[in-house]
Amino acid sequence: MGKILVTGASGQVGRELKKLSGKGDFLFADRASLDITDMEKVKQFLGKHPVEAVINSAAYTAVDKAESEPEKARRVNGEAMETLAEACRIRNLKLIHLSTDYVFNGKNHRPYREDDPAAPVNVYGQTKWEGEEIIRTINPENAVIIRTSWLYSAQGSNFVRTMLRLGAEKKEIRVVDDQVGSPTYAGDLAAALLKILPKLRHKKVKTYHYTNEGVCTWYDFAEAIMEYKGLPCKVIPVPSSEYPTPAQRPSYSVLSKEAIKKDFDISIPYWRDSLRKCLRVMGF
């Protein structure tokens, strides 16, 4: 297929896509080179740089900060989706948009399916849900929304890098043990997106879930990081009530991945294997 525009190029998924992109087939845009909230700038960019597909990995992801900056989060996560989805509809471009497990309230006791009711418990999740709904309303052909969770990579700001820093600095750390989900290595997600993109053939926007296989708590995740890195730092499990944050987190946000595996013939790695892979990339 033709050129692919990747928004959010400086983010975790954007950087992983750049590693996998090869030569000449991709355009990578960050906030400085393309303001996705500005329809005229998007039109000008697409007029100057013809593409056949868009992977939107741009997002306002500061979950706690979003509680005090709801309008800023809404512009990027919600309103900007009108600009991108409309541009894709008019130009008949394929579209992959990344969303989040935080559209759910965490009260399930089984993995969330794509058609389960959304009920965000924080501003970040609410604005991402609003963005999803805007895309569905505009309904560009050959478009998918892919929800993911607990994203990390060798670069950027994420849980793995934070734990490695704290583990090297401290003798013990306290990590919540009552939030359950699935980590996602951005490199695995990026590879899956590139496999999915050429296979998009449908009229109606579809929603899928992608995370690494397996389930854990943040405490389990931290324990694994310390173990694989060989850090002597002791990880102490604590309830979320002992680690208050401005934004509430869902207590359970495991996502069902049966649909994406079936429709696109994707094999998804187990989270511990992917964590080891990421640490090797980081030189550990």
Residues with catalytic roles: 124
Bridge partners of residue 255, in order along the sequence? 112
Please count the CA atoms within 13 angstroms of the CA of 78 that sit on its side-chain side.
16
Would you tell me how many other CB atoms lie within 10 Å of the CB of residue 168? Answer: 11
In the numeric block, which tokens belong to residue 92? 């008949």
Q: In 10 A of CB 72, how many CB atoms?
A: 15
Gyration radius (Cα) of the chain, Å:
19
Give the separation between CA 175 and CA 195, rounded to whole angstroms.
Answer: 35
Interhelix angle 159-169/271-281, rounded to 10 degrees, is 70
Q: Which residue has the tokens 């400085």?
A: 32
Question: Which residues sit opposite 234 in a β-bridge?
Answer: 172
Contact indicator for 137, 145 with CB cutoff of 8 Å:
no
DSSP state of 53: E
| Phi and psi angles of residue 95, each rounded to the nearest 5 degrees, phi first | -140, 130
**Residue 215: C-alpha distances to residues 67, 71, 136, 228 (Å):** 27, 33, 29, 18
In the chain, the amino acid numbered 15 is R
> Cβ distance 57 to 81 under 8 Å?
no
